[in-house]
Structure 1
Amino acid sequence: MNIFQRLMNLDRRWLYLLVGLAAVIPILAPLNLPVNVAESVQDLYDRVESLPAGSTVLASFDYGPSTGPENDPMADTFIRHCMARDLKVVCIALYPLGGVTEGLEELQRAVGPLNPPAGELESTAFPGKFYGKDFVYLGYKDGGQATMRQMGENVHAVFPQEYFQSPVTHYELSDAVKGYADVTFVMSFATGIIGEWWANLVNAQYGTPVAVGCTAVSAPKYFAYYKAGQMFALLPGLKGAAEYEYLVEKKYPQVAAATAADIYNAGKGWDVQSIVYSIITLFIIIGNVGFLVERRQRGRG
């Protein structure tokens, strides 16, 4: 029996164990596998770096827990990048589950625990940055495209209160943002079609620059918008998140330290994905070669 036949007859539980170890070990001991930064990712990093301090961006959490492993690290790194660059971030959610779980959760993962009703406004991750002045979360609003159109006319009419039920006029940042003209660009972390709406409605009708962080399965569709210029940047899946994280960490030690402390981040996820995909690909090749060898031997017999 040759090696290919032995491997083809291998108990599948060994393969499950190997894949399991490949998924766990990089989380506990990051491998920091190299990444090649794509142009669409570099474009987002460069745009954030080019903005004057004090500029305001709109971040929309348009995804739910099912795509969190891809979208969460993008959102974390983006908010941290903006804080490190002294930019202001207005956060919203247009995806139902994103409004319930992802929005506030990701904001707090990036800046630290918050309790505005109790007066706990300062970021522990970025001392000197405050809720309502440097970042704010307006919460979830149903309506999709209709909501986007209404925001173009009057953000305060769409979000009369922020997430913690204070009037938006109560906080300096949310009071200042009344329409798309008051933000430099929109960043959507999206699953499904919502990211497309930002491009074909807000960018097309209001001229507001749009960037999207999407899931890998949606990336081919979103690249069409990027190539057409309707999106100035695109983070495609976990790969894009890892590339963006790498760029930001390289320049900002404070962000690198915060990311390293995360139980899960884009770098760790990319290590896992790369190794697991390599193992699966290897066994597919072994299985096919073994099949061909076995068929040839039967033919000779």
Structure 2
Amino acid sequence: MTLVQRLQHFDRRIIFIFVALGTMIPIIWPFGFSISVTDPVRQVFQRVDKMTPGSVLLLSFDFDPAAAPELAPMAKAVMRHCAAKDIKIVGLSYLLTGGAEMAESIMSELGRELNLVYGVDYVNLGFKSGAPAPMILLANDLHGVFPLDNRGTNLKDLPLMQKIHSYDDIDFIVELASTILGDYWINVVNARFGEEMAIGTTAVSAPKYYAFLDSGQLIGLMGGLKGAAEYEQLINYPGTASRGMDAQRIVHLMIIVFVIMGNIIYFIEKKQKRMGLLDA
């Protein structure tokens, strides 16, 4: 049996093993490949970075566990940046009940790791249905929309929330959306009330938001795992997004190699058949 014939009968399960290893190894032992930072992500970073200590960032968790691999790293990176700058964080979620629990899980994890005090450094307001109506009401009476936080505590008992009553008390908004909520935030909160905001979204949804970025309605944009990894690089803290990008690069390289090998085998086989070296 010739080499070409052997390669024709190559066990595809070996390819699956290579892909599995190419995915797992960079996640366990990151390679630390460099990541080019795009202007839309850098603009988000710069806007947060210029906020003064004690100012307030509203972080909206409008995604569920299905979109967490792309959007949770963004939330963590933004929270780390805020913690380093002593920026207070108010989290909430519209439409998606799972969003409030994603916020609780992520904010509690980072709160413990970064020694943040709940109610002083960050608060999770929880879930509110009926958007965009609550977005409009929030402009005048935040405490009326969210009388209790996600843990059932009255907002009046939380030191951070005693000074926050409307959008006027919030310096910047970062919306993390896997749904149409991103459009609501832009069309209601930015267009109607003029609040500065940026959006982090899944890679498949990111292209439609470039029109809002070009129009100036968005300060910046983080798209997919790549956007999250870029923000991680800007804060000099490579996390799960950076590991995920390492895995993607390795697997994509493998796919390219296997495609090239397949084409080489095909043309060699075709030439050998034409020369009568192989059975047609």
Q: TM-score under structure 2 normalisation?
A: 0.91
Q: Could you report, residue by residue, the CA deviation over 1:123-148 in whole angstroms, capped at 9, with x for unpaired residues? A: xx334x42111111111111222221
Query: Which amino acid letter does the alignment assign opposite residue 90 of structure 2?
Result: V
Counterpart Cα distance in 1 of 2:243 and 2:3: 33
2:250 to 255, 275, 281: 275
Task: String of CA shifts for 1:89-147, please: whole Å, max 9, x gaps.
Answer: 100012424335311011022221xxxxxxxxxxxx334x4211111111111122222
Q: Could you tell me whether the CA contact under 8 Å between 1:187 and 1:212 is conserved in 2?
A: yes
Quote the offset at 1:268 in angstroms.
1.0
Task: Report the equivalent of 1:81.
Answer: 81
Task: Give the corresponding residue for 1:12.
Answer: 12
Deviation at 1:287, TM superposition (A): 2.9
Give the match for residue 172 of structure 1: 159
Counterpart AA for 2:256: T
Question: Comparing 219-228 with 46-55, which one deviates more in the overlay?
Answer: 219-228
| Distance 1:5-1:207 versus aligned 2 partners, 3 A rule | farther
Change (3 A) 1:12 1:53: same
**Cα distance between partner residues in 1 of 2:69 and 2:3:** 37
Partner of 2:200: 213
Displacement of 1:15 after TM fit? 1.0
Matched-pair identity in %: 37
Q: What is the CA–CA distance in structure 2 between the aligned matches of 1:198 and 1:2, rounded to whole Å?
A: 63
Aligned to 2:42: 42
Is 1:222 aligned with 2:209? yes
Deviation per CA, 1:149-204: give whole Å up to 9, x if none: 22123211111100111111111212322211111111111112211221122111
Q: Give the equivalent residue in structure 2 for 1:71.
A: 71
Question: What is residue 253 of structure 1 aligned with on the other side?
Answer: none
Residues 231-251 of structure 1 show CA distances to partners (whole Å, capped at 9, x for unaligned) of: 1111111111111101102xx
Number of residues of Structure 1 aligned to a counterpart in Structure 2: 276
Q: Name the structure 2 match of 1:122.
A: none
Query: SS state of the match for residue 171, structure 2?
Result: coil
In structure 2, how many angstroms separate the alpha carbons of the residues matched to 1:197 and 1:148? 9
* d(CA) in 1 for partners of 2:148, 2:166: 15
Write the distance in 1 (CA, Å) between the matches of 2:245 and 2:18. 17
Supply the RMSD in Å over aligned alpha carbons: 2.1
**1:126 and 2:114 correspond:** yes
Q: For 2:53 and 2:4, how far apart are their aligned partners in 1?
A: 60
Q: d(CA) in 1 for partners of 2:6 and 2:172? A: 57
Deviation at 1:296, TM superposition (A): 5.1
Residue 109 of structure 2 aligns to a residue in which SS? helix
In structure 2, what is the Cα distance between the partners aligned to 1:288 and 1:196? 44
Amino acid at match of 1:184: D
Residue matched to 1:192 = 179
SS at match of 1:153: coil
Question: Is the alpha carbon distance of 1:54 and 1:82 closer, same or farther for their aligned partners in structure 2, counting shifts above 3 Å?
Answer: same
Instruction: Work out the CA distance in 1 between the residues paired with 2:7 and 2:134.
Output: 56
Q: Which runs of 5+ in 2 are unaligned?
A: none
Q: How does 1:86-105 map to 2 (within 5 A)?
A: 86-105=86-105
Amino acid at match of 1:149: I
User: Which residue of structure 1 lines up, in the alignment, with residue 228 of structure 2?
Assistant: 241
CA distance 1:137–1:13, change in 2 (3 Å) = same
**Larger deviation, residues 231-240 vs 218-227:** 218-227
- Tell me the equivalent position of 1:152: 139
Deviation at 1:291, TM superposition (A): 3.6
Query: What is the deviation of 1:65?
Result: 0.7
CA distance in 1, matches of 2:181, 2:218: 13
Tell me the residue number matched to 2:169: 182
Larger deviation, residues 71-80 vs 282-291: 282-291
State the partner residue of 1:32.
Answer: 32
- For residues 270 and 222 of structure 1, the distance between their equivalents in structure 2, rounded to whole angstroms, comes to 22
Q: Which amino acid aligns with 2:46?
A: D
Counterpart CA distance in 2 for 1:50 and 1:4 is 61
Q: Distance in 2 between matches of 1:242 and 1:4?
A: 41
Task: Give, in angstroms, the shift of residue 290 of structure 1.
Answer: 3.7
